[in-house]
Amino acid sequence: FVYVSIPFIIKLFPSIQAKLVFLNFVRMPYFIDLKRPLDQGLNHTHNFYLEPEAGLKIGVWHTVPAQMWRDAQGKDGDWYRSAFSSAHPVILYLHGNAGTRGGDHRVQLYKVLSSLGYHVVTFDYRGWGDSDGSPSERGMTSDALFVYDWLRQRMEKTLPLYIWGHSLGTGVATNLVRRLSERGSPPDALILESPFTNIREEAKSHPFSMVYRFLCRF
Cβ-based neighbour number of residue 113 at 10 Å? 20
User: Which residue type is seen at 215?
Assistant: L
In a domain, 217, yes or no: no
pLDDT digits (tens, 9 = 90+) for 173-192: 999 999 999 999 999 999 99
pLDDT of residue 98: 83
In a domain, 157, yes or no: yes
Task: Report helix, strand or coil for 15.
Answer: helix
The pLDDT of 194-216, averaged and rounded, is: 61
What is d(CA 124, CA 163) in angstroms, rounded to the nearest whole number? 15
User: Which residue type is seen at 35?
Assistant: K
Residue 163 scores a pLDDT above 90: yes
In a domain, 88, yes or no: yes
Confidence band (pLDDT; 50, 70, 90) for 81? very high
What is d(CA 184, CA 167) in angstroms, rounded to the nearest whole number? 26
In a domain, 218, yes or no: no
The pLDDT of 8-17, averaged and rounded, is: 53
Residue 17 scores a pLDDT above 90: no
Confidence band (pLDDT; 50, 70, 90) for 63? very high
Residue 212 scores a pLDDT above 70: no
Q: Where are the alpha helices (DSSP H) in the chain?
A: 2-12, 14-22, 69-72, 77-82, 104-115, 137-154, 168-182, 199-205
The pLDDT of 161-184, averaged and rounded, is: 96
In a domain, 163, yes or no: yes
In a domain, 92, yes or no: yes
pLDDT of residue 2: 47
- If one counts the domains in the chain, the total is 1
What is d(CA 40, CA 3) in angstroms, rounded to the nearest whole number? 40
Range of 153's domain? 1-212
**pTM of the full structure:** 0.85
Alpha-carbon distance values, 130 to 87, 127, 171, 212 (Å): 31, 8, 22, 34
The pLDDT of 131-151, averaged and rounded, is: 95
What is d(CA 199, CA 187) in angstroms, rounded to the nearest whole number? 25
**At 113, which CATH number?**
3.40.50.1820
pLDDT of residue 13: 47
